[in-house]
Amino acid sequence: MRLTVLGIQGSGKGTQSKLLAQHFGLKRIAVGDLLRKEIKKQTKEGKILAKYMNKGEMAPNQIVNKVIAKVLPKDNFIIDGFPRDRRQLKVADKDKIDRVIFISLPKKEVYKRIQLRRKIEKRKDDEQSALDERLRLFYQESPYILAHFKDKLIKINGNQPIKKVFSEIQSKLELFLKVSN
C-alpha cells in the first residue's frame, strides 16, 4: 500500500500518519520532519531550506525530492505532507500513490492548534508570518492537488477527536483493500 496524507497545517497529518503506519505496518515518511532535520544538521541543503521554511515559503522542489528519494521504499509507505504544490505532482505520480487521505479543518481551528503547537514545539515555521504564508500557499495549491487525485481521494473531517479521525480513515482504507484484492 502506498499512501499520502495531506491537509492544512495543524490538521493532524503527523498524528494520523503515525497511527496508520503502526496499524498497517507502513514506513512513515514525514517530509516536514526530514526537512527540519536537514536544517538542524546545517547541511548545504539545510541552510537553503532554512531560508525558505522559516518564512513559511515552499522549500525548493529539487531538494525536497532528493530528501524523499533517499528514504522512500518501493511499497508499503505513508508520506506525510507530500505533494504540496503542482510541480511535486510529477514525482508523486512516479511513486504510484494508491490513496490520498485529505484531512480538512476549519481555519479558526487551525489557528488554535498551531498556537498550542507553537508553545510546545517552538517551530520557526509556526510563527505568525510564516504560518500566514503557509496557509496562503495551501489554499492556492490544494485545489489543483485534490483535483489531480480525485479518483484516489479519501476526505476526512479533521475537526473531531483523534480516535474518531483514525477510525474513519482506517475503515475507508480497509474497504479499499477489500475491493483491490
Q: What is the pTM of this model?
A: 0.91
Give pLDDT, residue 181. 63
Q: Is the pLDDT of residue 68 over 80?
A: yes
What pLDDT is attached to residue 126?
83
SS3 of residue 83 by DSSP: coil
pLDDT of residue 143: 96
User: How far apart, in whole angstroms, are the C-alpha atoms of residue 83 and residue 79?
Assistant: 9
Class of domain 2-30+76-176: alpha beta
The full DSSP string for 40-71 is HHT-HHHHHHHHHHTTTPPPPHHHHHHHHHHH
pLDDT digits (tens, 9 = 90+) for 129-173: 888 998 999 999 999 999 999 999 999 999 999 999 999 999 999
Instruction: Give the per-residue pLDDT at 118.
Output: 87
Quote the pLDDT of residue 71. Answer: 94
What percent of the chain stands above pLDDT 70?
Answer: 99
30 pLDDT above the threshold of 70: yes
